[in-house]
Structure formats: C-alpha cells, structure tokens
C-alpha cells in the first residue's frame, strides 16, 4: 500500500454546456479518511468523483493529490483505484485475469503478479473463486472482484461510485463491511452515494445539492458494519 495522501479541491467549477454542475468547490479529504459524497441525482457528487479519477476536467480551479496538481494528469498516471456500480468486469476473463490485468499491462514479473493477485483476492475473501468467470458469481462477489482490481495496483486512494447501487440490502452491508475493513487498514476511500444509510458507514459526510456543498460534517457514530464472509 502506498503512503496516505491528502486530496484537495480548490475553487473547482465545471459546466456541461450552459449547465453548471460544480460551483466553487473547496474541499480537503484527509489521508486515511472514509469519506462520503452524499446527494441526489444531478447534485454534482459523481462529477467531482470523476474529476478526481481524471475522467472529467474542470473549467477552473485546482485538484491536488499529495500536494501535486493533477488537474491535467491523465487517469492512468494518477494511481487511483476505481469501483463502479455495475462492476465493469471483463466477462471473458476469470476472476484472476480481471484482477491481474492492470499488473500485466505494467509488465511486472509473473511471480510478482501471482503473489499480488493471490494476496488481494484473499483480502476480499475470494481466493477460492479465482478461476470463475463473472457470470458464475453473485452480484456481491462481482463487486468484490472489482474492489480487488482497484486495490491490486497499490493505489493512493480508492474511489467508489455507488458501489452498492445494484445490490440487495444484505449484500450492500457485506460490501460496506469490506470497505470499512479496508479503510481501517489505512486505505483512503471516497464514496459516492444517494443513500443516507450507506453514507452512514463513512467517518465524514459531505452533502451536495445543485453543484454546491451544503454540509460537511464528521460522523463520529459511523455505522459499524458486521464482518460477513463472502457469499
């Protein structure tokens, strides 16, 4: 795992055509935080997450990770892990191959790839599922694969865009338990959700509406998710 880093948004503004989707966003995400961006659809929360990932680019302002201005740095050079609502797994690849793909693209030695994939699958309780294809897994198991893929490259932080949006309530609790355990191990996690009960697992909650931050509060009573084995 890489050293913890601070994420800073300084006076960020962004528009789609004439529609302003982010308005003068100033925000600091501290190293090691479990941080939730909460708001309804169209509030700007996912747009900010995609800015951090490098999928969008702001018209003005600065975005820094670890003190470095990354506003013009392409996504593949930011070393940020990304978890999507729809898993975004390669259907023709096994679990092992999906997780290993980024390491193979970096042309790491096979022995290193094998060790890192095995360790990461164990971290998400999927070591016995390595040879299965995504269509042989439950939704929760597929999301665990997506989380493993985000972790295996030792990212500076992990971004999770509505990671429980396609899951039932029980499986959502499992995924939030996993994210909490990863955060306790030192991984900075930035979560986007429109669900208050999901945001309640984070240690800090920032609420969005109409492209603006309406509330920024610590969540000392963060929901303690039970540890549940993969199922």
DSSP assignment string, 71-136: TT--GGGT-EEEE-TT----TTS-HHHHHHHHHHHTT--HHHHHHHHHHHHHHTT-GGGTT--GGG
The string of pLDDT tens digits covering residues 70-129 is 999 999 999 999 999 999 999 999 999 999 999 999 999 999 999 999 999 999 999 999
CB-count exposure of residue 59 (10 Å: 0-12, 13-18, 19+): exposed
pLDDT value of residue 168? 95
Instruction: Return the H-helix or E-strand segment holding 12.
Output: strand 7-16
Q: What region does 79 belong to: left with phi over 0, alpha with psi -120 to 50, or beta?
A: left
Query: pTM (2 decimals)?
Result: 0.91
| Domain 32-58+73-218 belongs in CATH node 3.30.1280.10 | no
CA distance 90 to 98: 6
- Asked whether the predicted pLDDT for residue 181 surpasses 70, the reply is yes
pLDDT value of residue 1? 54
Q: Provide, rounded to the nearest whole percent, the portion of the chain with pLDDT above 90.
A: 89
Give the model's confidence band at 228: pLDDT under 50 very low, under 70 low, under 90 confident, else very high: very low
User: For the chain, which residues make up each domain, given as ranges?
Assistant: 32-58+73-218
């Amino acid at each position: 795992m890489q050293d913890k880093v601070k994420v800073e948004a300084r006076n960020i503004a962004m528009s789609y055509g004439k529609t302003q989707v982010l308005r003068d966003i100033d925000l600091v995400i501290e190293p090691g935080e479990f941080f939730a961006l909460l708001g309804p659809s169209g509030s700007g929360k996912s747009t900010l997450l995609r800015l951090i990932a490098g999928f969008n680019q702001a018209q003005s302002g600065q975005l820094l990770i670890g003190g470095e201005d990354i506003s013009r740095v392409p996504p593949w050079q930011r070393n940020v892990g990304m978890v999507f609502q729809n898993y975004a797994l390669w259907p023709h690849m096994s679990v092992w191959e999906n997780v290993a793909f980024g390491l193979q693209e970096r042309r790491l030695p096979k022995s290193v790839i094998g060790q890192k994939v095995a360790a990461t699958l164990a971290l998400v309780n999927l070591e016995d599922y390595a040879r299965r294809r995504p269509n042989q897994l439950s939704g929760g198991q597929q999301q665990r694969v997506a989380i493993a893929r985000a972790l295996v490259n030792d990212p500076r932080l992990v971004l999770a865009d509505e990671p429980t949006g396609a899951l039932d309530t029980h499986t959502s609790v499992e995924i939030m338990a996993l994210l909490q355990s990863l955060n306790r191990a030192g991984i900075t996690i930035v979560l986007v959700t429109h669900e208050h009960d999901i945001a309640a697992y984070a240690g800090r909650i920032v609420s969005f509406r109409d492209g603006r931050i309406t509330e920024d509060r610590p969540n000392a009573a963060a929901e303690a998710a039970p540890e549940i084995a993969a199922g």
